[in-house]
Chain A
Amino acid sequence: MPPLPLQSDWAFVVGNLDLLLVGTGVTVALTAASILLGFLLGFPAGAVEVYGRGPLKRAVETAGVVLRGTPLLVIIILLFFGLSVSSSAFVTATIALGLRSAAYQSQIFRGALQSVDEGQLEAARAVGMGRLQAIRSVVVPQALRRSVPGFQNEFTIVLKDTSIAIVIGLGELLTVGQNLYQGGQSTAALEIFLTVSLIYFVLTFVTNRSLDYVDDHFSIPGGERA
């Protein structure tokens, strides 16, 4: 087979694939860190919204409303240039994406917790379990299963939104692509951004398929699919 006659612009992309892969690595790391932070904050926040009361519940609800009502771009600029929470762009981007994701994940878990029939909690209490124990042993395991589809959605949104970190100069995938093009080394704008898009697509596709597997694996036999 004759070698594929690469146009020079595609050849430029192929030649710089290593840089794009480094950017992809940063994107993946940023996504993982943000989702993790979002889960660690968002899950308890959702539980507080369902089971909490008083000032704590109101504080959590208010924080959620504020975070969901502020554009991510504004949050990240505010944290980096306004509050200078960290000199590290990666840390700042993780906090911005993580907080915003926590606000959304809290709603996924809140809905999932509320969807578990009240009789489940009642039956657990009737056996003599304390409230916390009953929630932990009976309601949470079912709610987690039901939150997989919503979580799947949130995961892909965070993955793609990591590209916003370009505004604070973090060397994630989109930034690397932009630098390649803006460095004046090439006119391959279309080719670069198509490649970047393809990489984002592959990442979201793989993520979705993996979470489909998680969903199947943990589904309750005979029961409704999560």
Chain B
Amino acid sequence: MSDPLLELDDVYKSYGEEQVLSGVSFEMDAGDVDVVIGPSGSGKSTMLRCVNRLTEINGGAIYLNGECVTDADTDVNELRKQVGMVFQDFNLFAHLTALGNVTLGLRKVRGIDKAAAQEQGYEHLEQVGLLDQADSYPAELSGGQKQRVGIARALAMDPKLLLFDEPTSALDPELVGEVVEVMRDLAAEGITMLVVSHEMGFARSAASDIIFLDDGEIVEHGPPEQLFENPQAARTGEFLSRLETTHEGE
């Protein structure tokens, strides 16, 4: 049996006294789209950030393609070349155009020359439907456009795994759709994605698995049908019903 693409093995993380992750374990295979849900402060974003080591774990281990990436001697830059990230607040490089955002990593990290990087950059902007905005600066783009540039920037590095940290939470409701649509396309293309999000439409239709995280522990982990229609744990059911109430209220 081949190794899973990503494996978290009994991962612990604390900030001082505050325990954020308490023994989180799960696996993802290539092509999987796992959606992480859970209450605010449950450790979802922290867990995601541990995977590309923007946050360092205190215990356990994380494996990418069977290789431990949380050893002290792991080259974090090599790891991050293989794991792309999309941020809640976009974090687009403010001084660069959309194209510049997508090509900076190609040029500085991959060492590709400008012309070739731009050619690839245009392809990725086209992939997220923003070819016509290549020369726009982040401040000239809408929130939805910014996030699509953020996705193109992550895609450009040709990662084995894409992390999404609440990609639609900072968006006006009418702009969520365009971002979710791009994510759906990527899922359909077989790109491996680990997504922290409460976009239930996306979770239901695109997710291979749903991971419900509460208080730093995985309470329930299973296919969307099971989690949404027939949750095994009481806490999962409670959380989902609260989520539905909130969304109906909108």
Residues of A within 8 A of B (CB): 117, 119-120, 122-130, 133, 137-138, 141-142, 145, 220-224
Contact = CB atoms under 8 A, between A and B. Distances in A.
Contacts of A130: 77
Contact of A141 (B52, B81, B95, B137): B95
B159 to A, nearest CB: 9
Interface string B148-159: 000001100100
5 contacts: A127-B80, A128-B80, A133-B108, A220-B137, A221-B140
B105 to A, nearest CB: 4
B140 A126 contact: no
Size class of the B contact interface (CB-based, 8 Å)? 20 to 34
A129 B77 contact: yes
A129 B109 contact: yes
A117 B87 CA distance: 13
Contacts of B85: 123, 126
Interface in B70-84: 77-78, 80-81, 84
Given A127-B80, A221-B140, A222-B139, A122 B91 contact: yes
A222 B141 CA distance: 9
A145 B95 CA distance: 9
A130 B138 CA distance: 23
A119 B81 contact: no
Contact of B108 (A123, A129, A142, A221): A129
A119 B139 contact: no
A138 B104 CA distance: 9
Contacts of A129: 77, 105, 108-109
A127 B91 contact: no
B203 interface: no
Contacts of B93: 120, 123-124, 138
Most buried by B among A127, A130, A220, A223: A127
A119 B91 contact: yes
A120 B91 contact: yes
Contacts of B87: 119, 122-123, 126
B136 to A, nearest CB: 8
B151 to A, nearest CB: 13
